[in-house]
Amino acid sequence: MEASDVKALGGSGCRQGDLFSPTHWSVVLAAGRGESEPEVAQAALADLCQIYWTPLYSFVRSRGYTVHDAQDLTQSFFGYLIEHKIYKRVDPHKGRFRSFLLASLKNFLAHASHRERTLKRGGGQKFLPLHEEQIENAESLFQTHSSTSSEDRVFERSWAAALVTAGLERLAADYKRESKEKLFNELRAFLGGGASPPPPYAELAVRLRMSESTLRSHVTRLRARYREVLHAEVCRTVETEAQAQEELHVLLRVLTES
C-alpha cells in the first residue's frame, strides 16, 4: 500500500451498518448471550472463518506440524469451534474475533493429542470447503513469513495479508459488476504489493485512451474504495467502533512493518 493510503486507512471509522451486520461477529456474540438463533450464529461464524483459515493454518505450521497435519488440525479446529459452541465463552468486552480465534486455537492445540479425531482430515468435519489453490496459497504465505520471530507474529502477518486479499477480491468483484474489470486490472498496480511498480501515468493514459487527469481521478477513486473495503472487512470481526479502530491500527502496524 502507498503511505498515503495507510494514513487514510487509520483515520477513518467504520459505519454502523458494517459494525452490526446481521451476518457477522455481533450475531455470533448475540448467540452466545442467548439473543439469537444458534443456526444463524453458525452461518455468520462460517462466513467469518473463511478468511481466517489461512492465518490459523500459518500458526499451526509455525508449531512445527507438517503441511497435511496442519490442514487437518485447522479443519478440525473449526469443526470443534462449531460443535462445542466455543463462541459462547467469549467475553463481550473483549470480543475481537481475531483474538478469540487465536486463543481458542492455542487451547485446541494444547489438547489436540488427546482427541482421536484430530488428525483425520477435517476431523470428520466438512465445515469449510478447501481447494488446492487455497491450500497452496496458504502454504506460500506461511513460507513467506516463517522466518518471523514468533508464532503470534506469523499469525498477525498472515491475518493482515488475508484481509488485504479479501479486500482486493471484493473490490475486483465490484468493478466486474460495473463492467470495469479491465480498468481494475490496469489500475491494480497502483494499490501496491505487486511484483513491479505501476507504469507511468502518461504511458498508461495512452494505453487506456484517456487523459492523464482522468486516469489520476480513477486511481484516486480506486484507492478510496480500497480503503472502504478494508474497513468493511475489519468491521465484520468486531462488535463496536472502538474495537474496529483498534483493529485498524493493528492492521496498519503489521502492513507497514512488513
Q: In this predicted model, what pLDDT tens digit does every residue of 126-167 receive, in sequence order?
A: 556 666 677 777 888 788 877 766 888 889 988 898 888 888
Q: What is the pTM of this model?
A: 0.74
b/e sequence 162-184, b meaning 16+ C-beta within 10 Å: bbbbbbbebbbeebeeeebeebb
Q: In this predicted model, what pLDDT tens digit does every residue of 166-196 receive, in sequence order?
A: 889 999 999 999 999 999 999 999 997 666 7
Interval 62-84 mean pLDDT: 85
What is the pLDDT at residue 144?
80
Is pLDDT above 60 for 22?
Answer: no
Cβ–Cβ under 8 Å, residues 199 and 189? yes
Q: In this predicted model, what pLDDT tens digit does every residue of 1-11 receive, in sequence order?
A: 444 444 444 44
Distances (CA, A) of 8 to 2, 160, 184, 198, 258: 10, 17, 21, 20, 18
Is pLDDT above 70 for 120?
Answer: no
How far apart CA 96 and CA 103 sit, in angstroms, is 11
